[in-house]
Amino acid sequence: MSTLDDRTPVLVGVGQAAERPTDPDYQALSPVALGAEAARRALADAGAGGDLAGALDVVAAIRQFEISTPGARPPFGASNNFPRSVASRVGADPRRAILEITGGQGPQRLVGEFCKAIARGEAEAVLLVGSEAMSTVLHLQAKGETPDWSETVEGDLEDRGYGLEGMFTASLLKHRIRGAIPAYALFETARRGRLGKSRADYARDMGGLFAPFTDVAAANPYSAAPTARTAEELITVTERNRIVAEPFTRMLVARDQVNQAAALVLTSVGKARALGIPQDKWVFLHGQADANELTIMERPDISASPQSIAAGLKALALAGKSQADMALFDLYSCFPIAVFNMLDGLGMAANDPRGLTLTGGLPFFGGAGNNYSMHGIAEMVTRLRQRPGAFGLVGANGGMLSKYSAGVYSTLPADWTQPDQRLAKIADAPVPGLELDTAEGSARVETYTIIPHKDGDLVVVVGRLDVNGWRFVANAKAGDQATLEAARARDPLGRAIAVQTDAEGMNRFRFTD
């Protein structure tokens, strides 16, 4: 360590905070208050002898879900400058305050950005922080309470916007693929088709993947749902575990009703030394890669995200390692496909004895909005300190399998004298032009989902025309119970259909086999 360049970036502090409405000491904290608690713990965790909070020159924050879309209105109000609100509560007055774009890739992406900034001398000490209080919002609304969480703080804010471009196409939105659950259902079912598995067999695969995650969550004091469950429990449809979009039961998807916050502190080695931060707190980023994926309808293969896989492989390569060298993993797990995709690409099995999560995963530990991977990184830092010399991989997913950031960590020092040798941006994939807004003729079902709805369940298919292979999205006609029942009775994957565009511009399909 004594030969390390003073400009070398290092993670020195991590902190997490959480509360459940059932906790005896539940305080119904706002996102700012919860984030500030995680930040205090991260600063304390570093064990600095000097004023680490006062040394912070950047505070970069993850955007809460309730301010992640244009026109969103937080029900109880919000800070006009979340990072500075948190900073003021921990005794910091940073030169820069940043609000990151939407997406679960954000925490890992920010680690790489500010490791580079530190290595270039553009920052000395950085706090990364994010929080969600979605469970408290619902809890207080149910009680008829309306606290005022709004506040105004002075100082500039670098608001990077929403970053929602490319997640959906107009045709997907029109045909009711309007959120993460039905979109990921299309990916999941396409992967089942690629593997040639039945619905029942693939459901068992999903349950088998996630059952070990529940064991980890059950032992994690910050978990929103700390209950161990069997694979069968996860996939069996009950009143509490209803289908949210085929093939997903409620227990197989990210849990967004959480009150959770996490924070990381990064400094230069020189600043860590000056502040007296013990070396046994230091963890280094050895390689990071970021990638963007094509839209759902543009991907040649809907069953995978090759750009995400490329990010994971590149991060490992930059660290001079392979997945076999990793002792620890925290793979983003909003849905099974997000994990399966990386396992397929990295050549790993679902029952890898090293484990695939450090937190318990988004459905069980909690899907803390865009901030989940801040918790994953915090856990990674903590575990690596306990295993000096070991390496770990964090995979952070955003959007509709459309934004990915992967990072490799270790307590062993990393050479950052040439920052671009530690970071990479995967080149965007070329757009093949496969999507039609309107379609007519014979076709085959490429993937599908059935979405429960109070006005009648909805079948959505993505198909390819027989004549030219171009892709379209379609619904059955309104009230077409026969097509709905046919989809339930017999697997729609690969089936022959006829499609036509109606007077309202909607693509309508029916089975023809």
Tell me if 288 is assigned to some domain.
Answer: yes
Same domain? For 455 and 346 the reply is no
Backbone angles phi, psi at 97, to 5 degrees: -125, 130
Half-sphere exposure of 401 (CA within 13 A, CB side): 33
Tell me if 270 is assigned to some domain.
Answer: yes
pLDDT digits (tens, 9 = 90+) for 378-417: 999 999 999 999 999 999 999 999 999 999 999 999 999 9
CATH number at residue 114: 3.40.47.10
Same domain? For 46 and 71 the reply is yes
Domain end (from 398, 425, 452): 425
What total of structural domains would you count in the chain? Answer: 2
Concatenated DSSP letters of 301-342: -TT--HHHHHHHHHHHHHTT--GGG-SEEEE--SSHHHHHHH
Mean predicted confidence (pLDDT) in 217-244: 98
Contact 309, 344 (CB under 8 A): yes
Q: Is the pLDDT of residue 434 over 90?
A: no
Domain end (from 358, 390, 425): 425
Same domain? For 398 and 456 the reply is no
- Residue at token pair 């934004």: 403
Instruction: Give the whole-number percent of the chain exceeding pLDDT 70.
Output: 100
- Residues in a beta bridge with 408: 287, 393
Domain of 267 in residue numbering reads as 9-166+256-425
Tell me if 243 is assigned to some domain.
Answer: no
So what's the pLDDT on residue 433? 73
CA distance 377 to 288: 13
Same domain? For 326 and 471 the reply is no
Same domain? For 265 and 366 the reply is yes
CA distance 188 to 449: 9
Tell me if 501 is assigned to some domain.
Answer: yes
Same domain? For 283 and 396 the reply is yes
How is residue 411 annotated by DSSP?
S
So what's the pLDDT on residue 479? 87
Same domain? For 417 and 337 the reply is yes
Averaged pLDDT of the chain: 97
CA distance 190 to 422: 34
Contact 191, 304 (CB under 8 A): yes
Contact 86, 39 (CB under 8 A): yes
Concatenated DSSP letters of 2-68: TTS-TT-EEEEEEEEEE--TTSTT-----HHHHHHHHHHHHHHHTT-SS-HHHH--EEEEPPPGGGS
Contact 333, 213 (CB under 8 A): yes
- Assessment of whether the complete model's pTM goes beyond 0.85: yes
Q: Which two tokens stand for residue 442?
A: 């014979």
Instruction: Give the whole-number percent of the chain exceeding pLDDT 90.
Output: 95
Given CA atoms 23, 26, 29, 34 in this order, what sign does their dihedral have? negative
For 469: left if phi > 0, alpha if psi spans -120 to 50, otherwise beta; the answer is: left
So what's the pLDDT on residue 339? 98
Given CA atoms 447, 429, 370, 339 in this order, what sign does their dihedral have? positive
Cα–Cα distances (Å) from 10 to 99, 114, 317, 395, in that order, read 22, 10, 20, 19
The single-letter code of the amino acid at 303 is: S
CA distance 133 to 371: 12
Q: Is the pLDDT of residue 1 over 80?
A: no
